[in-house]
Amino acid sequence: MTQQVLFVCLGNICRSPTAHGVFAQVVSDAGLQSQVLVDSAGTGAWHIGEAPDGRATQAARERGYDLSPLRARQVAIADFERFDYILAMDRTNLMHLEALAPEDYSGHLSLFLDFHPNSSEREVPDPYYGGDDGFNRVLDLVEAASRGLLQSLRAD
């Protein structure tokens, strides 16, 4: 059965494209690319159509992930019809998604880091206004949570 996963942050140029690129790679490494479809979107509209932030692309490239084909888009109501998992990077993103979600949404809407093996990690910090360290921190969190998410999908 095909499962569809959507990662959501604010701008869809830093955190969620990183999650998109990393998780797509993890899925592909597991040979599951035809069974698990991955996408990302932002709650905000400022960066629609833009490529990921150059710092995110560079940090990801250094770990072997290619974010360059991705383009930002905004979350739409139709996403709740399509996606089985909608995973927010922080609590503000989650609050916006909960406000947007149809009452009868039957998929899984939560924080992405619910799948991180260390339960003290809850939110992926927004790296946009910080230095390059922030982007590596995002990658550390996203890589760990991606492995947890794959295990969970396999158990579904």
Q: Which positions lie near ligand 4NP, rule CB under 6 A?
A: 9-15, 46, 126, 128
- Ranges of beta strands (E only) in the chain are 3-9, 36-42, 85-88, 108-111
CB of 10 to ligand 4NP, least distance (A): 3
CB of 55 to ligand 4NP, least distance (A): 10
Q: Which residue is nearest to ligand 4NP (CB)?
A: 11
Choose between 35 and 46: whose C-beta lies nearer to ligand 4NP: 46
Given the DSSP bridges, would you call strands 85-88 and 3-9 parallel, antiparallel or unpaired?
A: parallel
The DSSP 8-state label assigned to residue 48 in this structure reads T
Choose between 15 and 153: whose C-beta lies nearer to ligand 4NP: 15
The side-by-side arrangement of strands in the sheet containing 85-88 is 36-42, 3-9, 85-88, 108-111
- Tell me how far CA of residue 31 lies from CA of 45, 56, 96, 100, in angstroms: 34, 25, 33, 33
CB of 106 to ligand 4NP, least distance (A): 26
Choose between 83 and 112: whose C-beta lies nearer to ligand 4NP: 112
Residues belonging to the active site: 9, 15, 126
